Amino acid sequence: MNQIAVIGLGVMGKAIAQNMMNHGFRVAGYNRTYAVTETMQGKENFIGYKELKDAIESLEKPRKIFMMVPAGPVVDAMIDQLEPFVEAGDIVMDAGNSYFEDDARRGKRLEKLGVHYLAVGVSGGEMGALHGPSIMPSGSKKAYDQVAFILETIAAQKDGEPCCTYIGPEGSGHYVKMVHNGIEYADMQLIVEAYIAMKAAGMSNQSISDVLESWNQGPLESYLLSITIKILREKDPDTQKDLVDLIVDASSNKGTGKWTSQCALVQDINVSLIHGAYMARLTSNDEKLRHRFPKVQSHMEIDTEQLRQAYFLARVVAYEQGFRLYSDASKRYGWDLNLSKIASIFRAGCIIQANLLEYIRDTFGRLGPDASLFDDFEEMALAHLPALKTIVTNGLLHDISMPLFTAALTYIIPMQQVALGANLIQAQRDFFGAHTFKRVDKEGVFHHHWE
């Protein structure tokens, strides 16, 4: 009998199935297009099935079904197909990038059949899925306990610990993965802005790569920096030119950054860097508007040490904003998220794995879910703030687009101001809408007749 079925054998599904097989788990494979399944036939610990019914019936009970299909209607369609073949006690896992609010509906639907539903965030891309991703399961704790031995075995390992932990009820696993992706958007854009600044200083891709390599150690070490170093050194086999220079200057997205921004608005949390990173991707695709303006060839001098400090501080702000979303969601939705454990499972296997997460894990481990990263990073922030100011100012003066470095600066500067002018806004609101205001010299709520 097979131990688990992997439904959906695209790039990620095939990799995760191979990961399971490499660890000795017997895998039943099913893909809507059987030709895809056939490419895996004959591999050790794998049996592919042409019919979904046969794949499900080949499983040990309770059946464990791992769906790796595109988020959205495809997940619901897959559940429609599974429904006739599953029975009470079976476990259905959605490991795609589903929107967390859809999970409650799907969970209730399967619950009527006595079937457990787990919303499972998976990060790491194809290589992570194959060699060990970061895994964020949520839903029924009882169901998780029955699949934990598989998920924790195939997950990345860091210091002898699996980068997989039970996140919480309902769709909390997909929520955690969604915000993870928002942080990913922000860090990618910050690296891009550092790259653009160094290009404006006349540095070659090789020189920029060398600078990033010097950064990619100690507190700044990260997966995203490591792949960027390799990207900047890669040559196009046909032209021998730097491959990155031959790629169209427009970036795509799959929606998780957008969802993070939307959730932040609902939760009233400032995620200016995550939002700005999504907006930057949209701008890169606005060909009509970009073509309207005359192009400026920017030149500026750059101090790479100042740029490093600015990048370090801005990256801390991005993580601060993401973890503030986690903290609020934990209370808002009653999930009781363990932010220290979340930081811990991000330390390997996932796209945002970085040395910084060791510090973040420690901060929340010591200070609890209401902590701020600036509880530990305030001294660094104040020390690096002059560098961030210099980089942003010089960038603006030399027509360099640095929306996230700017957002990081405008996130921190207000924290230092004695007053933000919100008193005037409250007066304006009271003037036109009688929205009332509080006073510094009296208790209570007041309305003034302005005219």
Q: Which residues define the annotated binding site for substrate? A: 97, 123-125, 180-181, 185, 254, 281, 429, 435
Kindly give, in sequence order, each residue whose CB lies less than 8 Å from that of residue 26, ignoring residues fewer than 6 positions away. 1, 2, 3, 4, 45, 47
Type and span of the H or E element at 198: helix 172-200
Closest CA to 194 of 314, 352, 319, 307: 307
Q: Which residue has the tokens 């997205």?
A: 253
Active site residue 177: yes
Binding residues for NADP(+), by number, are 8-13, 31-33, 69-71, 97
Residues 348/157, Cβ–Cβ less than 8 Å: yes
Euclidean distance between CA atoms 416 and 407, whole angstroms: 15
Spell out the residues 6+ positions from residue 36 whose beta carbon is closer than 8 angstroms to its own.
9, 10, 14
- Cβ-defined contacts of 440-446 (< 8 Å, 24+): none
Q: Which of 14, 64, 158, 177 is catalytic?
A: 177
Cβ pair 373, 323 in contact under 8 A:
yes
Indicate which residue of 170, 184, 193, 320 is catalytic: 184
State the Cα–Cα distance between residues 47 and 151, nearest whole angstrom.
20
Integer Cα distance of 51 and 73 in angstroms: 21
Antiparallel, parallel or unpaired: β 116-123 and 134-139: antiparallel
Helices vs strands, H then E, count in the chain: 19, 9
- Which amino acid is located at 233 in the chain? R
Catalytic-residue membership of 184: yes
- In three-state secondary structure terms, 336 is coil
Give the catalytic positions in this structure.
177, 184
